[in-house]
Amino acid sequence: MKNFYATARNLLLAISVLPTLWAAPALAISEDQAFVLDVRETTIPIGHAQFCQSRPNECGQNSNLVTYENLSQSKWDELLQVNAHWNNAIRPINDIDLYQTEEFWTYPREYGDCEDYVLAKRRSLIERGWAPSTLLITVVKQANGEGHAVLTVRTDRGDLILDNQEGLIKVWSQTNYTYIKRQSQQHQGRWMELADNREVILASR
């Protein structure tokens, strides 16, 4: 993982995206590229399956289904604060070095892997009143072919990505990742295969 920005730099970088987000009702990009498309139910990552076994209360059906959060100024500020806080509070280390196992998903204390940052950010936002169905653990592939986990935040402005490797909060289509799968909005313990519709759009032109 990359070294993290200092707290002040993290906030300044993230704030620099704000004019773009508030420049138009649904971002300065097409609706097709603002939201990732779910395709079908798929397998749950083994690390999340084990997490759900130990914390079944965090992996059930979303009884109060909210499709999108309305991204007000206060909500945007919360995203900036939570993303910057956890990116700087946790030191990156892989599960092999920390737990001597390939995959171990848990809430981090001082050290953690990418999915641990995601879990921490998700819990923090839920504690602030965000609907769990709008906060989706997401598996992506990096340009080097390695897997990675980010948090997708579903808003009326698009699917925003909170990433421990990036100080900026971006719309998913503005990142360099290939999107593989993420949690179902209906059920926190189920996962959905994703269609990276940036490729679909290019192929249809």
Which neighbouring-strand residues pair with 153?
135, 160
Q: Give the E-state strand segments of 96-146 in sequence order.
A: 111-112, 135-141
pLDDT digits (tens, 9 = 90+) for 39-70: 999 999 999 999 999 999 999 999 889 999 99
- Who has greater pLDDT, 16 or 122? 122
Query: Is 90 exceeded by the pLDDT of residue 170?
Result: yes
What CATH number has the domain spanning 7-203? 3.10.620
Tell me if 168 sits within 8 A of 17, measured CB to CB: yes
Closest CA to 95 of 106, 103, 85: 103
Q: Report how far residue 30's alpha carbon sits from residue 190's, in angstroms, rounded to the nearest whole number.
A: 29
Q: Report how far residue 176's alpha carbon sits from residue 189's, in angstroms, rounded to the nearest whole number.
A: 27
CA dihedral 88→76→193→43, nearest 10 degrees, is 50
Q: Report how far residue 65's alpha carbon sits from residue 76's, in angstroms, rounded to the nearest whole number.
A: 21
Domain boundaries, the chain: 7-203
pLDDT digits (tens, 9 = 90+) for 130-144: 999 999 999 999 999
What is the predicted pLDDT for the residue at 29? 61
Tell me if 67 sits within 8 A of 133, measured CB to CB: yes
pTM: 0.84
Q: What is the mean pLDDT of residues 157-181?
A: 95
Q: What share of the chain is helix, strand, coil (3-state, %, to 5)?
A: 40, 25, 40
Lowest mean pLDDT among 25-29, 120-124, 157-161, 166-170: 25-29
- Who has greater pLDDT, 199 or 103? 103
> What percent of the chain shows pLDDT beyond 90?
73
What is the predicted pLDDT for the residue at 10? 41
